[in-house]
Amino acid sequence: MVDVGGLELTAEDREILAHPLVGGVILFTRNYRDHDQLRALCDDIRGLRAQRLLLAVDHEGGRIQRFRVGFSRIPAMRSYGARHDEDAAMAAAGARDAGLAIGRELAAFGIDLCFAPVLDVDHGVSGVIGDRAFSDRGDVVTTLARAFRSGLQAAGMAATGKHFPGHGAVTADSHVELPVDRRAESELRAIELQPFAALIADGIESIMMAHVRYTAVDETPASLSRKWIRGILRRELGFGGAVFCDDLSMGAAAVVGGLDERARLALAAGCDMLPVCNDRPGVVALLDALKDLRPNRAASARLQRLYLRDTGATA
């Protein structure tokens, strides 16, 4: 999954997006000016190939909302967690409404995924997660994430739970360096995995991995770990949906080597799609380095189930 530089596609963008190993595009704030421009860009991307590209954007609400002017301003998910302490039913209704608004507004442009909800439990130490998490309690995260997902579903949009197995108890920012969580495996399972296990049992469509090392389980970061992905996520929790690596250009992933090494580790571990953002030279080099690979049919089938269902939405 790659990005594009501006408000419309360049000749280089088109060449990159035509590559058989590219399966999706992630949009950023720089790709949005107004509704007409965004619609034209998305239509252009979707029309490039017979098997169209998956379109995604980080659009959680709060700090992480790429499109703002002309879109509903969605509050940080923590606001629903705070409301839950006073009125659980009202908080769940608000979270569902947020998911519905995000889903409807993005669906109007043919965008398939908003990369939400955040299923991390906030332990009060992670600046990069913070109020993106619904709560510091796993049961509240589960309740509100279920409500949020129901709103997305009503708009025809699949959900992506992140960041497995939980990013909320580490201080380091994985965009810059590799966070390390040294807690016992029993604690991780009892607290961090609770919302993921519940949403997986519900049938959540996709999961995004965390660039975090959990030393009690595996020295390899979870995003690149066979034990976490093929073992715990797939075999133990029974997850059958699509697995996204977190952005391979992030500093936390660099501990294992260059983009080539990161990508091969992620694929071997069981990731279905590898976002590589804000590094066009890296994308070009990576596609060349991986030219011996062939598209994975099983991964492609899982990813195809994420395409937006037609709801007739307009904007």
- In angstroms, rounded to a whole number, what is the distance separating the alpha carbons of residues 287 and 291? 6
HEC assignment per residue over 30-84 = HHCCCHHHHHHHHHHHHCCCCCCCEEEECEEECCEECCCCCCCCCCCCHHHHHHH
Cα gap 28→169, rounded to integer Å: 27
175 in catalytic set: yes
Catalytic residue among 112, 120, 246, 272: 246
DSSP per-residue string spanning the chain: -B---SSS--HHHHHHHTSTT--EEEE-GGG-SSHHHHHHHHHHHHTS-SSPPEEEE-EEETTEES--TTS--PPPTHHHHHHHTT-HHHHHHHHHHHHHHHHHHHHTTT--B----B-PPP-S--TTTGGGSS-SSHHHHHHHHHHHHHHHHHTT---EEEEET--TT--S-TTTS--EE---HHHIIIIIHHHHHHHHHHT-SEEEE---EETTTBSS-GGG-HIIIIIIIIIIT---SEEEPPPTTSGGGGGG-SHHHHHHHHHHHT-SB--B-S-HHHHHHHHHHTTT----HHHHHHHHTTSPPP-----
Candidates 34, 43, 139, 175; catalytic one: 175
- As a whole number of angstroms, the distance between CA 308 and CA 310 comes to 6
Q: In this structure, are residues 179 and 169 in contact, taking their beta carbons and an 8 Å threshold?
A: no
Among all residues, which ones are annotated catalytic? 175, 246
